[in-house]
Amino acid sequence: MSQKRVAVVTGANKGIGFGVVKKLCANFNGIVYLTARDVGRGTKAQQDLAKFGLTAQFHQLDLDDMNSIDTFADYIRTTHGGLDVLVNNAAVTYKEFAEQAEPTLRVNYFGMKYLCHKLFPILRANARVVNLSSDDGHLTRVNGDEPFASKLREKLASTDLTEDELTQMVVTFIKCAKDGSYKTKGWPCSSYRMSKVAACALTRIQQRRCDQEPRLNILVNAVHPGYVATDATSHLGHMTIEEGAMAASYLALLPAGVCEPRGALVWHDKQVVDWINGPLPGDGY
């Protein structure tokens, strides 16, 4: 069994995920896994890295397939026995709303959560977990009709919120998106936005859980990468992939002696943002 340090980046065959892999390959002292749901695209990305003189291992991983997640987690556990860095980048986005609420949350929330359930038990001391969010993930983006939106924000912001309660809120959002009652019940008008709000709320829950074993100093943070020119933004973003990968890579590479940030939302320029009250820096990008 390998005793080398291990880093995993999901959804890494292109875009920000690929940019994070590049930075980790150049700066992480250990093995870096580039994962993708499509074997051909993942292998090509691995070959593209080699052109830069960088080496990453490839493993298939589809967050919309529990068997794929199980297979990958079992591989990491049996091959390496532990994990030091997890960057949860994989996500989907759709143009439609009501019809795509369930598939969006199935990958962006439920798939990520299930992968974390499988990998968190093997996180080593000083492990770093980075959940890719967005400026859309800020709590103020829960902005449906009042007073219901305020009540939703209050519940999401609670330090007593459990993962089961968060999951039930996501299930309720999906139901409201399907029947058209989402706005009048306080929910945002975007499934992607809801998935990123949920990712931030989950980040806080995960950090509280990790803090129960303070000697391990595991840091879990969410990150807004900025408005990056990727497929998700139809390449309209004004930031490069390298710029978009900067903050996530910074959090992934925080050294062992560092204890902050923890359970935070970190902006693309590395500043910690008040997730509950704001304000959001600049124009949100």
Active site residues: 192
Burial 133-145 (b: 16+ CB within 10 A, else e): bbbbbbbbbbbbe
Q: Which residues lie closer than 8 Å to 161 by C-beta, 6 or more apart?
A: 155, 201, 204, 205
**Main-chain phi, psi angles of 123, to 5 degrees:** -65, 130
Across the chain, the runs of DSSP E, i.e. the strands, are 6-9, 31-36, 57-60, 83-88, 123-132, 219-223, 265-266, 272-273
Dihedral class, residue 204 (left if φ above 0, else alpha if ψ from -120 to 50, else beta): alpha
Give me the sign of the Cα torsion angle 204, 205, 211, 213.
Answer: negative
Measured between alpha carbons, how far is 92 from 122 in angstroms, rounded to an integer? 26
Quick one: which of 113, 82, 61 has its CA closest to 7? 82
Assess contact for 242 and 19: CB atoms under 8 A. yes
Measured between alpha carbons, how far is 87 from 59 in angstroms, rounded to an integer? 14
Q: Distance between terminal CA atoms of the chain? A: 43
Measured between alpha carbons, how far is 239 from 241 in angstroms, rounded to an integer? 7
- Residue 251 has which token pair? 């959090």
Q: Which residues pair with 259 in a beta bridge?
A: none
